[in-house]
Structure 1
Amino acid sequence: MAVDGRTRSAKAALKRKAKQEVELRHKVRDGITQMLADLMLWNEIEEAGEALQLLILNADPVAALSQAAVELPSSPPGLIRHHVRPGVLDRLNEIAESLHGASQKHVIKLLILCAHAAGPEGSARYLHIPRHEIVFSENVSRTFLNESLRELRKDPGDEHFAP
């Protein structure tokens, strides 16, 4: 039987609480929400929360600050809602502090403006997913090889493949 919406929402709320997620709401001008939609389209991102998290993680405060004087066309306000975990919230507050104590809303607006100003190709650097490179040391590689060979000597029958 399918789970109803209330049950699903309650389960999601419990998960958010366990992971110490915080919901952020930023009232921004409509032009900003359209720019975020453009960024998501250009970079094939479906969730606004994911796009905002990547903007925060890959933020360049100096480049973002250069967008502070950009004039937006007058339009009605929109609301950007997203959930963040403690590490991302700390990073957002760090950026806000480096921008002379700017509000979280102002930082989000500047990050969106900065990435959008870079255009479809240039915005990819602000929305790339950081990947960790795993490099095994020589000692770890040698230990792994020795353990693998030791296991093969104990049970040598299964390393042969049928022709």
Structure 2
Amino acid sequence: MAVDGRTRSAKAALKRKARQEVELRHKVRDGITQMLADLMRWNEIEEAGEALQLLILNADPAAALSQAAVELPSSPPGLIRHHVRSGALERLNEVAESLHGASQKHVIELLILCAHAAGPEGSAKYLRIPRHKIVFSENVSRAFDNESLRELKKNPEDEYFSPHHLK
């Protein structure tokens, strides 16, 4: 049985509350929403919220500030709505503070302008997914190898078993 829209919205609101997400709304200047759409198309991102979160996490305040005086094409102003979790909200506020106390709306505009000015290839660095680098110590690697060999010895009929590993 299909769930009606009201039930689905209530369920989504509960999930957002549990994840401590906040909805942000920004009335942006002419052309900003089209630039965000361009960035999403160039970088194959389907959700505006995802694109904005990546822009926030990868923000380069100095580069963004260089876009403050850019003239925008004439088009209707827009409204950008998205949800952010506490970490992204903290990062947005840090960037705003580093830009001499700029508003969240102004920071979002500057980040979009900065990434858009970099063009289709250059904008990728502003919309990349941050990855954690995981480095295993020598002790952990050795323990993993030893445990793996111990498991291999338990089941010698394993098709991936190779006797040359058992030195």
TM-score normalized by the length of structure 1: 0.93
% identical equivalent positions: 87
- Match runs of 1:22-61 below 5 Å: 22-61=22-61
Q: SS of the residue aligned with 1:30?
A: coil
**Could you tell me which residue of structure 2 aligns to residue 87 of structure 1?**
87
Counterpart of 2:112 in structure 1: which amino acid?
I
Counterpart of 2:127 in structure 1: which amino acid?
L
Q: Deviations over 1:53-112 (max 9, x none)?
A: 010011100000000011123433210000000000000000000000000000000000
**Could you tell me which residue of structure 1 aligns to residue 151 of structure 2?**
151
Deviation of residue 156 (structure 1)? 2.3
CA distance in 2, matches of 1:73, 1:143: 60
Q: Deviations over 1:105-136 (max 9, x none)?
A: 00000000000111111111111111222222
Counterpart of 2:45 in structure 1: which amino acid?
I
**Could you tell me which residue of structure 1 aligns to residue 135 of structure 2?**
135
- Aligned pair 1:70/2:55, yes or no? no
**Could you tell me which residue of structure 1 aligns to residue 109 of structure 2?**
109
Deviation of residue 30 (structure 1)? 3.3
Stretches (4+) displaced over 4 A: none
RMSD value, Cα: 1.3
CA distance in 2, matches of 1:149, 1:139: 15
Q: Deviations over 1:135-160 (max 9, x none)?
A: 2211111111222223333x324423
**Could you tell me which residue of structure 1 aligns to residue 119 of structure 2?**
119
